[in-house]
């Protein structure tokens, strides 16, 4: 893939990520980390689908169902169009949406439109901006203002950086994260990009006063594969499975006193229901929706999302629940590998 005329390395990287996510989607589509957990269904649920109400609110915005389209796009011509269509979908279904990393917006102001389009197309819904952990407070404020964002995701993506040919080698991030948390006037979300969160980091973030994390675990888009492919040497392929899965990350989050959002590998309404049953406030989807949009077009992506939401409501009734507050009460069965992880975690 070659940069278009005058395209910066940063902007070109964003287009490469979009293309490679689609190429590797084919490989990850059969990975099912969520099969490690079964939800136990009451044979007599005594519920009605038409009485299921999954409305909730997040960062002062209402959601028809607790879903959001997670960070992917912005910062190139191609990603303007993708963000426009994703935001139209978010508006259509009244779910949330996050932009891809908008740090580029400060250095290349001509890219601002590809981020601001989220608010333009989704004027009343939840919009989240996304930055890297080095962005200074003043730039972060500028990004939030330009995007009229309701919240700010800060991605903490150590594994991606180490494999990325042009990636950072400095992972001393906490001080800047604390400044951002203290000085921004929108909620801050500390977010992984598909490698999950360990318990010690969650405890640390809680102790430092952070309020929200996006666990984004493995099982879907795999940035170890994507960045390794971008390296001429392809010499990090042994790190493909270094991530903690979204389910493992959810278990790590069980006792924390922070809001946690779940994403990473969510492909079906049952996956989303499992995340919600483990206490996630909302569930993020990225790669699978991008695939629908890029491979099959807007109408197909819209049908796919409509079906996802309809079936999430149906499953809620099947599992004996009616509202989001009922979902954590669903009984669970942990399969051996996950149960083993759970037990080792409790003795740690
Ligand atoms: C991403 N993701 C991402 N995350 C982030 O915090 N900032 C970013 O700029 C990007 N960029 C990006 C580009 C593309 C093309 C994809 C597919 C993903 C990561 C994303 O938000 C999410 O955490 C992971 O993709 C895991 O979720 P899925 O894809 O398995 O549903």
Q: How far does the centroid of ligand 1 lie from the alpha carbon of residue 325, in Å?
A: 28
- Cβ contacts of 111 within 8 Å, gap of 6 or more: 11, 74, 75, 76, 104, 105
* Residues whose beta carbon lies within 6 Å of some atom of ligand 1: 17-18, 21, 70-72, 100-101, 130, 153, 155, 191, 193-194, 216, 220-221, 263-266, 285-288, 290
Q: How far does the centroid of ligand 1 lie from the alpha carbon of residue 41, in Å?
A: 32
pLDDT in tens, 80-105: 999 999 999 999 999 999 999 999 99
d(CA 56, CA 188): 19
Q: How is residue 42 written in tokens?
A: 């009451």
Residue 267 has pLDDT above 70, yes or no: yes
d(CA 184, CA 176): 12
* Atom number, ligand 1, closest to the C-alpha of residue 191: 6
Mean pLDDT over 25-31 rounds to 89
Residue 1 has pLDDT above 70, yes or no: no
Q: How far does the centroid of ligand 1 lie from the alpha carbon of residue 40, in Å?
A: 31
Length of the chain: 348
pLDDT in tens, 127-146: 999 999 999 999 999 999 99
Q: How far does the centroid of ligand 1 lie from the alpha carbon of residue 348, in Å?
A: 30
Q: How far does the centroid of ligand 1 lie from the alpha carbon of residue 49, in Å?
A: 32
Question: What's the alpha-carbon Rg for the chain, to the nearest Å?
Answer: 19
Q: Percentage of the chain with pLDDT > 90?
A: 95
* Atom number, ligand 1, closest to the C-alpha of residue 216: 23
Give this prediction's pTM. Answer: 0.98
């Amino acid at each position: 893939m070659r940069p278009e005329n005058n395209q910066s390395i940063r902007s070109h990287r964003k287009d490469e990520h979009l293309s490679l996510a689609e190429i590797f989607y084919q490989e990850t589509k059969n990975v099912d980390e969520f099969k490690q957990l079964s939800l136990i269904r009451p044979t007599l649920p005594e519920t009605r689908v038409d009485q299921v109400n999954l409305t909730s609110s997040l960062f002062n915005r209402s959601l028809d169902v607790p879903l959001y389209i997670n960070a992917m796009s912005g910062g190139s011509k191609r990603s303007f169009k993708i963000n426009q269509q994703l935001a139209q979908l978010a508006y259509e279904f009244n779910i949330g949406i996050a932009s891809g990393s908008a740090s580029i917006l400060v250095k290349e102001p001509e890219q601002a439109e590809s981020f601001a389009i989220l608010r333009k197309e989704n004027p009343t819904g939840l919009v989240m901006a996304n930055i890297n952990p080095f962005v200074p407070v003043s730039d972060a404020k500028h990004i939030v203002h330009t995007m009229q964002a309701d919240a700010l995701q800060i991605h903490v993506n150590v594994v991606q950086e180490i494999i990325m040919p042009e990636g950072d080698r400095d992972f001393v991030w906490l001080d800047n994260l604390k400044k951002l948390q203290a000085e921004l006037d929108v909620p801050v979300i500390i977010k992984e990009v598909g490698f999950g969160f360990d318990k010690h980091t969650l405890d640390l973030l809680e102790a430092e006063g952070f309020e929200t994390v996006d666990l984004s675990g493995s099982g879907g888009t795999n940035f170890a594969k994507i960045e390794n492919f971008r390296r001429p040497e392809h010499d990090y392929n042994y790190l493909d499975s270094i991530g903690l899965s979204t389910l493992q990350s959810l278990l790590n989050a069980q006792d924390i006193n922070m809001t946690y959002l779940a994403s990473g590998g969510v492909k079906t309404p049952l996956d989303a229901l499992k995340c919600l049953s483990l206490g996630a406030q909302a569930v993020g989807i990225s790669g699978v929706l991008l695939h629908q949009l890029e491979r099959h077009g807007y109408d197909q992506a819209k049908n796919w999302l409509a079906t996802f939401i309809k079936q999430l409501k149906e499953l809620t009734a099947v599992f004996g629940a009616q509202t989001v507050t009922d979902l954590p009460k669903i009984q669970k069965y942990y399969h051996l590998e996950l149960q083993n992880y759970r037990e080792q975690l409790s003795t740690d």
